[in-house]
Amino acid sequence: MIDKVDFIKEDKIFSLLEKGKATDKNEIKEILAKARDCRGIDLGEVAKLLYLEDEELLDELYDVARHIKNRIYGKRVVLFAPLYTSNECANNCLYCGFRHDNKELHRRTLSLEEIVKEAKAIEKQGHKRLLLICGEDAKKTNVKHFTEAMEAIYKATDIRRINIEAAPMTIEEYKELKKAGIGTYVIFQETYHRETYRIMHPVGKKANYDWRITAIDRAFEGGIDDVGVGALFGLYDYRFEVLGLLMHCMHFEKKFGVGPHTISVPRLRPALGASLKEIPYKVSDKDFKKIVAIFRIAVPYTGIILSTRERAEFRDELLSIGVSQISAGSKTNPGGYQEDDDHADQFEISDNRSLPKMMETICQKGYIPSFCTACYRRCRTGENFMEYAKAGDIHEFCQPNAILTFKENLMDYADESLRKMGEEIILKALEEIEDDKMRTLTIARLEEIEKGKRDIYF
C-alpha cells in the first residue's frame, strides 16, 4: 500500500486561482519584468498569468518567454523520435486508444529483433535520440523488456540516448533502468486533479493516483536524476493542471535538490476506440500558447517538449516562445516505422512532416536542429546539469554541440538543398558563439567531422 500524498494541495491551488482572477495590468507588468531575469516566478504569480486575456499583455508574456528561451537555450532545437514497442495494456484510461477494452485495436508487442529494426529505421532518418514507449502489461512490457531493448539498441545502432516513458515502477526496477543506460525517465501524471484522475482511470494499476505521482520519487531513489513530467491537457481545467504540475516539481526539487529536466505538454487528441468521445476541458490554441509561455518563464531551466500531437504551423509558432525539444517523423503504433496500421495507433498525429522537412523548417526559422546527447554522456545531469544551467554555462556547450551534431547529420543524411541551407545556418551559428576559444575549437571539430570523424562533443 502506498500513502496518500499531501504535496498536491488542491485547496491551495483553488485559492491561488481565485486570487489570480483579480489582477490588474500593473501587477502583470511587474511579474513579467521580474521574470525577464530568468529566475522563475512563484505559484501565486503563475496563477495571475494564467488569467491573462489582454492581447497586448499576452504579447509581452510571449516576448519574455522568447527572451528567456534565447538566453538559456540559444538557437538550438533538439530532435527525437518515439519508438512504440507495444500497444498491449492492462489499464483502461478512457482517453487512450491502447486501453484494454478497445476491441478495435490490432495488438502487438515487438520482439527484440523487431525493436532493433524499428530503431534502425529511426536512425536511418537521421535521429540519434529516441523515446521507448508502450502500454502497461506486467508480463510483456516489464523492466526486462526495457533493459533488453536498450542493450540491443545501443549495441546494434548509433542511437546515443534512449529515454523511456513508462508506467510507474519500484525502486529496484528503476535501478535496473539506470544500469542499462536510461537517459531521461518520463511519466505524465495525466491530471493532477484527484477526482478527475479517478474517473479517467477506472481500473488496473494506473487507477492508483498516489502510486503514479510518487514514481518520480522512486526513480530518484533508484539513481535516475534525469526525469520528465507532464499533464495531459484537456482532461481538467488547464489552470489547475499547470499549478499542480509545478507543485509536483517543487516537491521533488525540495526532496532531491533537482527539478525536472523536461516538461511535456501533450494535448488530448482523438483516438480510435477511446471511450472519451468529447474533450472534457478543451484547451484552445490561445490558451495552449499561454501555457507554454508560462512554463518557460516559471521554470526557465527546464526543457519543454512538444510532440506531433500539435499541427505543423502551430508547432513552428511555439518553437520561438519556449519549446526546446520536438519529435519528428513520428509513428505511434508498434512497428510503425516499417509499416502503417491505422488500427494500432495510440492517437492521431497532427504533424506528419518527415525529419528532413522538420529540419528545413527549423533552419528557415533561424534555429539549429540539434542531435546532441552530450549532457548525459558527460554526466551533466540532475544537480550537475542545474548548476551549469543556472550559471548560464549550458548555453556555451549547447550551441557548439548543436552545430557539431547538425553537421554530422548534414554529411550523413541530408540531400543537397538541406545541406546548403544547413551550412549557412552553421556559419551564422558559429558567429554567435561568444567565447573565441570555444569558437576556434568548434571550427576545428567541424573540420574533423568533414574528414569522417563522428560523435565528438563538448
345 lies in the site for ligand SF4, by CB under 6 A: no
Q: How far is the CB of 177 from ligand SF4 (least distance, A)?
A: 17
Q: Considering only CA atoms, which of 11, 146, 141, 84 is closest in space to residue 345? A: 84
Rounded Cα gap, residues 384 and 388, in angstroms: 7
DSSP state of 5: P
Rounded Cα gap, residues 82 and 344, in angstroms: 15
Give the contacts of 227 (CB within 8 A, at least 6 positions apart): 184, 185, 186, 187, 216, 219, 220, 252, 260, 261
DSSP state of 378: T
186 binds, among ligand SAM, ligand SF4, none (CB under 5 to 8 A by kind): none
98 lies in the site for ligand SF4, by CB under 6 A: yes
Stretch that binds ligand SAM, among 132-140, 379-387, 396-404, 411-419 (CB under 6 A): 132-140
Size of the site for ligand SF4 (CB under 6 A): 9
Q: How far is the CB of 386 from ligand SAM (least distance, A)?
A: 25
133 binds, among ligand SF4, ligand SAM, none (CB under 5 to 8 A by kind): ligand SAM
- Measured in degrees and rounded to the nearest 5, phi and psi for residue 190 equal 70, -70
Task: Pick out residues in 132-151 that bind ligand SF4 (CB under 6 A).
Answer: 135-136
Stretch that binds ligand SF4, among 18-26, 94-102, 209-217, 376-384 (CB under 6 A): 94-102
404 lies in the site for ligand SF4, by CB under 6 A: no
**Binding string, residues 287-326; x marks residues near ligand SAM by CB under 6 A:** ----------------------x-----------------
For helices 43-50 and 285-298, give the axis angle rounded to 10 degrees.
160
Q: Considering only CA atoms, which of 206, 158, 146 is closest in space to residue 182? A: 146
Nearest CB to ligand SAM, comparing residues 96 and 180: 96
Torsion sign over Cα 142, 147, 148, 150: positive
99 binds, among ligand SAM, ligand SF4, none (CB under 5 to 8 A by kind): ligand SF4
Torsion sign over Cα 84, 87, 88, 93: positive
Among 128, 206, 239, 445, binds ligand SF4 (CB under 6 A): 206
Nearest CB to ligand SAM, comparing residues 271 and 404: 271
**Binding string, residues 45-64; x marks residues near ligand SF4 by CB under 6 A:** --------------------
Q: ∠270-13-254 over CA atoms, to 5°?
A: 100
164 lies in the site for ligand SF4, by CB under 6 A: no
Torsion angle defined by CA atoms of residues 293, 297, 303 and 309, in that order, rounded to the nearest 10 degrees? -20
Rounded Cα gap, residues 83 and 127, in angstroms: 12
* Residue ranges that bind ligand SF4, judged by CB under 6 A: 89, 91, 93, 96, 98-99, 135-136, 206
* Residue ranges that bind ligand SAM, judged by CB under 6 A: 95-96, 133, 135-136, 165-167, 187-188, 190, 232, 266, 268-269, 271, 274, 309, 346-347
